């Protein structure tokens, strides 16, 4: 038996949290791809105050911990994830937390769905988050990924982030713009959980905010984002390629390429969709086929935006 499994059996008795604890939970229930094998241990804490101690307990016992937000940017292996998946999706909610000089700010728990955060800002007449509306995923995942929509990154409006460290301490992180880049955040190199994030906003007209949000949703719907399970763009754009990755893939005839039920979307060549029963292995094989085609034709090495997670022999 792998060491983590026997360890998990022992530490289950020590875990006492509000929320749910499951073993062998299929990750396909928690990813927008609807793909992914079981997590040895699946923890869904319901009380943010319990998260630091839980994180410290797991790490103290040597259990690998994978933080899960909305599962909107990951491809989880068919064999699942060894160790513990810490699902933060029940830690949700926002509150006003104005900054120096009364600057309007809103703070959200990491598991708050991005769209719910935008809607709350709109109800309060606060503008600044509209560009993120209708993007799947959680506030914590969006900060970790430095999510980017309509030429703006979440780092443009980020004021403060509260992180839980492996020892169980909470730390306030004040991220400077120099710490972020295109789809890169300092949290990607940090051994920590994002617990809360606070955003700089401006007073605005709720009707105008609402209109901007609805326009973004309509644009995504028109682009077919929600027709099939997927994880958004599979590869990053790269300025040195001179054109968006999707256009390059389209010009190389990638639309409609298929391995089993994994297919390159016929609406957008930078999106791989699950047509029904796709496996992670099929998605990965399709990714490799596309990457090889681009390399052989253009000499470019595509950089993956979707993250292969878990027990992959070689991703």
Ligand X SMILES: Cc1cc2nc3c(=O)[nH]c(=O)nc-3n(C[C@H](O)[C@H](O)[C@H](O)COP(=O)(O)OP(=O)(O)OC[C@H]3O[C@@H](n4cnc5c(N)ncnc54)[C@H](O)[C@@H]3O)c2cc1C
Q: What tokens does 12 get?
A: 């289950």
173: helix, coil or strand? Answer: strand
- Segment near ligand X (CB under 6 A), from 5-13, 65-73, 120-128, 292-300? 65-73
Q: What is the CB neighbour count within 10 angstroms for residue 18?
A: 11
Element (H, E) at 221: helix 206-222
Query: Catalytic residue at 243?
Result: no
| Per CB under 6 A, 246 contacts ligand X | no
Residue with token string 């062998």: 24
Residue 189 contacts residue 45 (beta carbons within 8 Å): no
Looking at beta carbons only, is 39 or 68 nearer to ligand X?
A: 68
Say whether residue 58 binds ligand X (CB under 6 A): no
Q: x/- site string to ligand X, residues 83 to 122, per CB under 6 A? A: -----x---------------------x------------
233 in active site: yes
Does 68 sit near ligand X (CB under 6 A)?
A: yes
Q: What would the x/- binding string for ligand X be over residues 254 to 293, using CB under 6 A?
A: ----------------------------------------
In terms of Cβ atoms closer than 10 Å to its own Cβ (0-12, 13-18, 19+), residue 233 is buried
* 86 in Cβ contact with 6 (< 8 Å): no
How many other C-beta atoms are found inside a 10 Å radius of the C-beta of residue 244?
Answer: 17
Interaction between residue 27 and ligand X (CB under 6 A): no
Q: How far is the CB of 135 from ligand X (least distance, A)?
A: 5
Binding mask 153-192 for ligand X (x = CB under 6 A): ----------------------------------x-----
CA 284 – CA 138 distance, rounded (Å): 24
Q: Does position 70 bind ligand X by CB under 6 A? A: yes
Active site residues: 233, 305
């Amino acid at each position: 038996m792998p060491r983590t499994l026997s360890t998990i059996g022992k530490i289950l008795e020590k875990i006492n949290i509000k929320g749910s604890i499951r073993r062998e939970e299929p990750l396909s229930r928690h990813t927008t791809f609807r793909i992914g094998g079981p997590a040895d241990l699946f923890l869904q804490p319901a009380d943010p105050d319990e998260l630091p101690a839980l994180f410290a307990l797991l790490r103290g016992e040597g259990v690998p911990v994978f933080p899960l937000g909305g599962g909107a940017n990951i491809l989880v292996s068919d064999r699942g994830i060894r160790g513990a998946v810490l699902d933060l999706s029940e830690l949700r909610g926002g509150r006003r937390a104005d900054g120096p000089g009364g600057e309007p700010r809103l703070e959200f728990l990491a598991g708050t769905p991005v769209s719910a955060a935008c809607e709350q800002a709109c109800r309060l007449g606060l503008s600044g988050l509209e560009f993120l509306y209708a993007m799947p995923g959680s506030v914590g995942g969006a900060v970790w990924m430095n999510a980017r929509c309509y030429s703006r990154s979440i780092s443009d409006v980020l004021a403060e982030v509260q992180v839980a460290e492996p020892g169980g301490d909470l730390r306030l992180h004040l991220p400077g713009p120099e710490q972020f880049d295109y789809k890169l955040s300092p949290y990607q190199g940090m051994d920590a959980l994002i617990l809360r994030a606070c955003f700089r906003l401006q007073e605005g007209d709720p009707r105008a905010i609402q209109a901007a949000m609805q326009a973004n949703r309509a644009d995504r719907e028109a682009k077919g984002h929600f027709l099939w399970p997927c994880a958004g763009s599979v590869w990053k754009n790269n300025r040195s390629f001179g054109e968006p990755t999707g256009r390059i893939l389209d010009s190389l005839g990638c639309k409609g390429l298929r391995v089993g039920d994994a297919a390159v979307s016929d609406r957008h060549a930078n999106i791989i969709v699950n047509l029904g029963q796709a496996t992670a292995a099929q998605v990965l094989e399709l990714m490799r086929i596309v990457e090889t085609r681009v390399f052989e034709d253009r000499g470019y090495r595509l950089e993956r935006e979707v993250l292969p997670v878990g027990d992959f022999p070689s991703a």
